[in-house]
Amino acid sequence: MRTASIAAAISLVSWALCSEQRLLSDARSDSSVRFGASIGSSKGNPPAYRDALLELHKALIDIESISGNENAVGDFLAGYLSDRGYTVDLQAVASSKGRPDRPERFNILAWHGRGRHSPRVVVSSHIDVVPPHIPYGIEDGPVDESTMIRGRGSVDAKGSVAAMVLALDELLHRDKAIRDEDVMLLFVVGEEVGGEGMRTFSDSLARMDQPPSFGAVIFGEPTENKLACGHKGGLFCEMTAKGVPGHSGYPWLGKSANELMVRALAKILDADLGSSELFGNTTFNIGRFDGGVAGNVIPEHALVKMAARVAVGPEKTGSNLVRSKIEAILNDVDPDAFHLDCTHGYGSVECSCDVAGIPTPPCPRGGGENVLTVLSGFDTIVVNYGTDIPNLAGDHRRYLYGPGNILVAHGARENLTVGDLETAVEGYKKLILHALKE
């Protein structure tokens, strides 16, 4: 890595932040927010990339890409990157039935320049979203850091995708701090429904005679622009109970599958399913409960779809501990009535969050006092949701970072601010530079 180039880039970033320090406008109440169809004009002294960042973010949100229907947004993003000098590969995902040159579903792999490299760092996020599609909207009036943007994927995770692309462009072109062969972009499908896109990429590496030995992968998810030290694991199962049907007036002549399930669920909710200092307690969610056919019939069948957020490791087998505790409870309630079928699971996932920072020169007199803090490290966080990190095998370092708050993701009011996106661009730049130095 060219140390002089990195130092020059850091100096430029520091100067830009010093020159842009100003007070944010007062927060506006949610009831005053109105959303128009266009981005509008910027005010103040925005970063040079603001328009490009907001235009890309808007274009990505405008294209509906609910899991399983990612083609349109993938086509757009592949074309966008190709027009900006990237070599783009479309990697067919396992269930594809399309033409070899146009798979039905595909990941996007992109390298800057006209060649395929063995990157030192991979920068990755996902292009699928949860339903329903929510159109793009941006708050009326001139745009500044506090301007609010909404729409499905604005946070999870098209905000990360847009910020990653602009961050890499800045490092390649404006800062000239890295080389084409240093970094690869990877945007995958299916993260929201099991991670088939990332698993396809991981499997493709395993089949290579000489797979690339990248040192780090930066994953984009909403972390409030804090660097995540890890996230809980997961266990995703379907529990069924079988009883004996009969007339509800004579319950002793039957065996209620619903009653058995309720007794088991109460025990599971009260049980210690595992905990750790970093991730807290394992939690258990009853996502769906179906049982019986009528109010006056003893139910013969009951079904529960559940998800546990696993707070214990190791990553590959930590969920097995939770599963064994659930199975023991089911056996205690009724050893013959229950069946537990789990689709997948993994233990708690640890990430690198010891980015001490890159030394920056002090601001000139009159500059913002907090610029050194902004560039010298990240606030950290631990999150409870799942990511594609465990779906990618390898010994690389893992970083998890991105704009927006998970508490609004997947909801009807998914939103973030322009400032969130711009902070993410600078954060991804810093992470890329840090990863290349390791």
Catalytic residue of the set 191, 192, 196, 221 = 191
73's CB contacts (< 8 A; 6+ apart) are 60, 63, 64, 65, 127
Cross-strand pairs, 230? 350, 382
Whether omega for the bond prior to residue 314 falls within 30 degrees of 0, making it cis, is yes
Alpha helix positions (H), 21-116:
50-62, 71-83
Residue 137, SS3 per DSSP: strand
DSSP β-ladder status, 183-188 and 297-298? unpaired
Cβ atoms within 10 Å of 117's Cβ, excluding its own: 16
Active site residue 191: yes
**Rg for the chain (alpha carbons), in Å?**
24
Measure the CA–CA gap between 339 and 335, rounded to whole angstroms. Answer: 10
Residue 326, SS3 per DSSP: helix
Q: What angle do CA 94, 95, 98 make, to 5 degrees?
A: 105
Measure the CA–CA gap between 130 and 191, rounded to whole angstroms. Answer: 10
Q: How close are the terminal C-alpha atoms of the chain, in Å?
A: 10
Distance of CA 104 to the CA centre of its chain: 23
Which sequence positions are flagged as catalytic?
A: 191
